Amino acid sequence: MNYPADLKYTKEHEWIKVEGSTATIGITHYAQESLGDIVFVDLPKAGTAIAAGKTFGTVESVKAVSDLYAPATGTVADANADLATSPEKINKDANNTWMIKVTLANPAEVANLLSAADYEKFVSEEGGS
Amino acid sequence: MGAKMVSFNGWDMPVEYPSWGGIVAEHMAVRNGVGIFDVSHMGDIRLAGPGAQAAVQHITINDVSRLAVGQAQYSAMLYPQGTFVDDVIVHRLGEDEYLIVINAGTREKDFNWVRENTRGFDCKVEHLSDDFTQIAIQGPRGVDLLQKLTDADLSAVKFYWVTRGTVCGLKNILIARTGYTGEDGFEIYIPSDEATSERVWKEVLEAGKEFGAVACGLGARNTLRLEAKLPLYEHEISDTINVWEAGIDRFCKLEKGTFIGHEALQKAKSAGLKRTLVGLEMIERGIARDGYKVLDDAGKEIGYVTSGSPAPFLKKNIALAYVPPEFAEVGKTVRVEIRGQGVAAQVVPTPFYKRPKKASSGEPRAAN
């Protein structure tokens, strides 16, 4: 239930929702829970190229700094400006709080990512909820 | 309890309690009400005997001859070169009996240091770290909470004083009005067996319900002590940093006579400071973190951040950093290198947070 079936997931705890050749990306419920109170998000500007498996930004909680990893390759179309002033929205609803919108280089690439069921299994093995 | 655990110097420690709201909620509970910490990782060394006072004088920087029985002081143990073995709290428990409270990460080192350097004194040195479960009850309502559980008259115990009393049915428990949060509060030392520790922990939480007490982890302990500018070993103090640099001059009594590190400190004083600890507040968007570089306006590296974090009560991003004295003036702007960018910060007065004044005083704060 915490992990909607229409999203795909990475082992680094990002989700991606693909609609045609564009996608929205955020972090998972598990990630926000592990981080605790999120206080800062650093996101790339529109036009920035991102590459699957590489970092595209940073999220910080009170206690820790974590890199954000791109689930797919593409170009940033938009970044959620709301998060500069209200990063806590991610804690409140991680699945529905997007960070960036991306024009995908190869939408088929996303098929290799984890399904909701696989991700849930993965985090339960990591000791998560 | 639902604590998120983390390994800290080999201890499994609660970093935060998500079911109580996490670090920010824990931090605010201590500032506004009361929070409860399991700080059993702290260590304790007891020195007793006719030579105990002279021994403690020899290994610490503060003047224990000024302590009345039942009084405590912030202090430190130094290497001969004037740098820190550890910072400590010294309690005078009896005429010839002292308890030195030490940090978790330095327990064995500290105990060996004390034992080796007090051999010539007529006193017995005991390592009691494993005998106690230490619970810290911190915040303005801490006194109300603990008073429900003890027959000791807490109103008679001033800040940085200790007493003994029955707590949760346990007789002769050491109760100290000390802490590491910048608030009023108490630390109680109860027998370390698991059943007793667990029972007392639960009873304290239960008694705290009416005050909105929250279980707090290491995460909040760190943000609280940072707002109050209380030093942390391997951060603000270490075996390469001396007393003057760390700015804890007012706890160092050179005039009491010689002690380990005395000579080096005198030399360092006449040589002048090369770096000094300052408080920074971020002006531009960004959070300074432990170890980040501090730059001047031209981008030249001038120092480093010892501790940096969002400050939950002050709602600012703050840091402590070592910089050359010419950058230490309040109002001076510097930059903190965050992921390759120089982000502007300003030197501000410390402590960042000072609790509203009440009757008590004597807080171990680094010099302003």
Residue B95: give its domain's CATH number.
3.30.1360.120
Residue B360 covered by a domain: no
Which tens digits make up the pLDDT trace of B267-291? 999 999 999 999 999 999 999 999 9
Are residue B114 and residue B255 in the same domain, yes or no? yes
Its domain, for residue B341, covers 273-354
Q: Across the interface, which of B4, B286, B312 has its CB nearest the CB of A62?
A: B312
| Domain contains A90 | yes
Here the CATH number for the domain that contains residue B312 is 2.40.30.110
Residue that is last in its domain, among B217, B238, B270:
B270
Picking from B221, B338, B343 by the largest number of A CB atoms within 10 A of its own CB, the best residue to mutate is: B338
Torsion from C-alpha of B251, B254, B259, B263, nearest 10 degrees? 120
The Cβ-side half-sphere exposure at B249, using a 13 Å CA radius, reads 11
Query: Could you tell me which residues of chain B have a Cβ less than 8 Å from any Cβ in chain A?
Result: 4, 15-16, 18, 22-24, 219, 222-223, 285-287, 289, 309-310, 312, 339
Nearest to B83 by CA among B230, B255, B234, B237: B237
Q: What is the mean pLDDT of residues B326-342?
A: 97
Distance CA A129, CA B5 (A): 14
Position A129 in a domain: no
Q: A126 falls in which pLDDT band (50, 70, 90)?
A: confident
Mean pLDDT of B324-338: 98
Query: What distance in Å separates residue B27's CA from the closest CA in chain A?
Result: 11
Closest CA of chain A from B222, distance in Å: 9
- B310: nearest CB among A34, A62, A84: A62
Query: Which domain covers residue A91, as residue numbers?
Result: 8-124
Would you call B310 and A39 a contact, using CB atoms and an 8 Å cutoff? yes
Based on the fold, state whether residues B277 and B265 are members of the same structural domain. no
**What residues of B are in contact with residue A40 (Cβ under 8 Å)?**
285-287, 310
What is the C-alpha separation between B280 and B290, in angstroms, rounded?
A: 13
B309·A63 Cβ contact <8 A: yes
Per-residue confidence (pLDDT) for residue B6, from 0 to 100: 66
Dihedral sign for Cα atoms in the order A93, A97, A99, A105: positive
Q: What is the number of domains present in chain A?
A: 1
CA distance A59 to chain B (A): 11
Look at residues B270, B297, B323 and tell me which one is the last residue of a structural domain: B270
Are B179 and B280 contained in the same domain?
Answer: no
- The count of structural domains within chain B is 2
pLDDT, one tens digit per residue, over B177-227 is: 999 999 999 999 999 999 999 999 999 999 999 999 999 999 999 999 999
- Say how far apart CA B120 and CA B125 lie, in whole Å: 12
Which residues in chain A are closer than 8 Å to B18, comparing Cβ atoms? 33, 36
Residue B362 located in a structural domain: no
Indicate the burial class of B239 (C-beta count within 10 angstroms; 0-12, 13-18, 19 or more).
Answer: middle
- B254 burial type by CB count under 10 A (0-12 exposed, 13-18 middle, 19+ buried): middle
User: Which residues, at least 6 apart from B316, have a Cβ–Cβ distance to it below 8 Å?
Assistant: B281, B282, B310, B352
Residue B104 φ/ψ, nearest 5 degrees: -60, -50
**Is the Cβ–Cβ distance between B279 and B318 less than 8 Å?**
yes
Copy the structure tokens of residue A34.
């592990």
DSSP B5: E
Among B270, B287, B314, give the residue marking a domain's end.
B270
Mean pLDDT confidence for B69-93? 98
A62:B339 CB<8 A:
no
Answer whether B98's CB lies under 8 Å from B53's CB: yes
Residue-level pLDDT at B40: 86
Same domain, B230 and B321: no
The confidence score (pLDDT) of residue B41 equals 86
Is B361 inside any structural domain?
no
Domain assignment present for A32? yes
Establish, for the pair of chains A and B, how many residue pairs have beta carbons separated by less than 8 Å: 40
A85: CATH? 2.40.50.100
Residue A129 has pLDDT above 80, yes or no: no
The answer to the question of residue A3 being in a domain is no
Contact call for A63 and B15, based on CB within 8 A = yes
Question: Measured at the alpha carbon of residue A86, what is the angle toward residues A82 and A91, in degrees to the nearest 5?
Answer: 115
pLDDT grade for B106, boundaries at 50, 70 and 90: confident
Note the pLDDT of residue B8: 60
Q: Is pTM, for the whole model, over 0.90?
A: yes
Residue with tokens 């000094």: B276
Residues B183 and B116 in one domain: yes
- Give the gap in angstroms from C-alpha A20 to the nearest C-alpha of chain B: 34
Distance from CA of B16 to the nearest CA of A (A): 9
Assigned domain for A66 exists:
yes
pLDDT in tens, A78-111: 999 999 999 999 999 999 999 999 999 999 999 9
